[in-house]
Amino acid sequence: MVAYKSKVVEPISLPSRERRERALEAAGYNVFNLASEDVFVDLLTDSGTGAMSDAQWAALVRGDEAYAGSRSFDRLASAVRDVMGFEYVVPTHQGRGAENVLYGTLLSEGDVVPNNTHFDTTRAHVANQGAEPIDCPTPGAFDPSLEAPFKGDLSLEHAREVVDEVGADRVPVVIQTITNNSTAGQPVSVENTRRVRAFADEIDATFVIDACRFAENAAFVRQREPDFADDVAIDEIVREQLSHADAVVMSGKKDGLVNAGGFVATDDPDLFDRCKQRAILYEGFPTYGGMAGRDLAAMAVGLREAVDASYVEDRLESVQTLASLLEDVGVPIYRPVGGHAVYLDAGEALSHLSPSAFPGQALVCELYREGGVRGVELGSFAFPGTERPELVRLAVPRRTYHREHFEHVAETAEAVLESATTVAGLELASEPTMPEIRHFTAELEPR
């Protein structure tokens, strides 16, 4: 069911094929280097790229820019309390700011951190504290064709093995990322969250939820988890799931429905105090923490909108629409479809290319060349040295694109697949020093 009509529009156009060819070459075959004006349908990320509601724009104008004690901060704190159930909040400029504040507070050299799957900035922030990030996805999470309701879950068996190997003393933090961005946006069941809570208690660890896409996760829980029949409200599910965590890190650029912002939230006054001090160092005074007052105000409204059933059901439906259109023209995708993106199976689509030829990145480049569509590779290029499927993520910005845009994406992918065997693959031309984040800046060239 469509839940919006447009009030503000932004013109877009498809640049000529010649211009796309030139832009791709000048970008070093890395679409992060493209100018957005050269992109037609931009599915690079769902982060900070969505449309705000009229209520959010109204709140923006009334934002209180006071350095300390801003009214907009109070609005945000009350939204976090009502929607997510946490008493204390430390705003940050975005999700990775929250990661720096919280993991910088909780971790030290030699620690080991299990997570269902670390997102790239999470991995980098854990590593930046001298700790070791360990992915514990549920078995089958990396199988693009296995149909299962909660492929985002954390494997407690794996996490226990980690603890048995290194000792509980070295595992002060356990993280669960909902939904699990690095495994195709798959949801995490509330049952899994309860079990992780019990596990964290056993080993006396702090349990952190990376809650970027908490509302999308709750909508999946309502559809799929037997304990939560259809009449349970989305925000009740959210509060139940998050109540098991000691703290959350949040990127407001996802389910905060804003273009900038994030926060750490907790019920623990001592942890709050420690986070505030680090936030002053890296983000700002704790009643704004790296955000403008107007952005705090917009996020306060966005958090409440995100748990509205008509919003979040429309959201999942729109991602599903893109997936169905792609499947209708024979494009292999990761199944089931995740919450914020459709993940193409580039290993299957370009099966003649070995991982060393970066089939995912080659597919990303062909989608741009063919139709001005920008996606992102999440395979051998983004995750060097790990065994993962060669996926390409087409992330859907919130409340932004419609069926016609998705039809263009499907037609583009169909055309690319028709001449798939002529795609030769890519090789690295230059590589930055931090391998965890090389896909943002490395350059490539055709083989």
Q: Site residues (CB under 6 A) for ligand F0G? A: 45, 47, 94-96, 119, 121-122, 177, 181, 210, 212, 251, 253, 262
| Residue whose CB is less far from ligand F0G, 163 or 266 | 266
In angstroms, give the least distance from the CB of 251 to ligand F0G.
3
| Residue whose CB is less far from ligand F0G, 53 or 251 | 251
Q: What's CA 412's distance to the chain center, in Å?
A: 24
In angstroms, give the least distance from the CB of 48 to ligand F0G.
7
Residue 255 near residue 306, CB atoms below 8 Å: yes
Q: Which residue has the tokens 């296995």?
A: 146
Distance (Å, rounded) from C-alpha 350 to C-alpha 370? 15
* DSSP-derived secondary structure for 338-394: -SSEEEEEHHHHTTTS-GGG-HHHHHHHHHHHHH-EE-EEESTTTSTTS----EEEE
Distance (Å, rounded) from C-alpha 240 to C-alpha 414? 42
Question: CA distances (Å), 105 to each of 108, 111, 177, 227, in order?
Answer: 8, 13, 19, 35
Structure tokens belonging to residue 37? 């004006």
| Residue whose CB is less far from ligand F0G, 349 or 376 | 376
Cα torsion angle, 237, 241, 246, 250, sign? negative
| Residue whose CB is less far from ligand F0G, 296 or 357 | 296
At residue 420, what are phi and psi to the nearest 5 degrees?
-55, -40
Distance (Å, rounded) from C-alpha 83 to C-alpha 302? 11
In angstroms, give the least distance from the CB of 376 to ligand F0G.
7
In angstroms, give the least distance from the CB of 213 to ligand F0G.
7
| Residue whose CB is less far from ligand F0G, 262 or 425 | 262
Name the closest residue to ligand F0G (Cβ): 95
Q: Which helix (H) or strand (E) holds 429?
A: strand 426-430
| Residue whose CB is less far from ligand F0G, 151 or 417 | 151
| Residue whose CB is less far from ligand F0G, 262 or 338 | 262
How many distinct helices (H) and strands (E) make up the chain? Answer: 15, 14
In angstroms, give the least distance from the CB of 338 to ligand F0G.
11
* Residues in CB range of 74: below 8 A, 6 or more apart: none
In angstroms, give the least distance from the CB of 299 to ligand F0G.
12
In angstroms, give the least distance from the CB of 249 to ligand F0G.
7
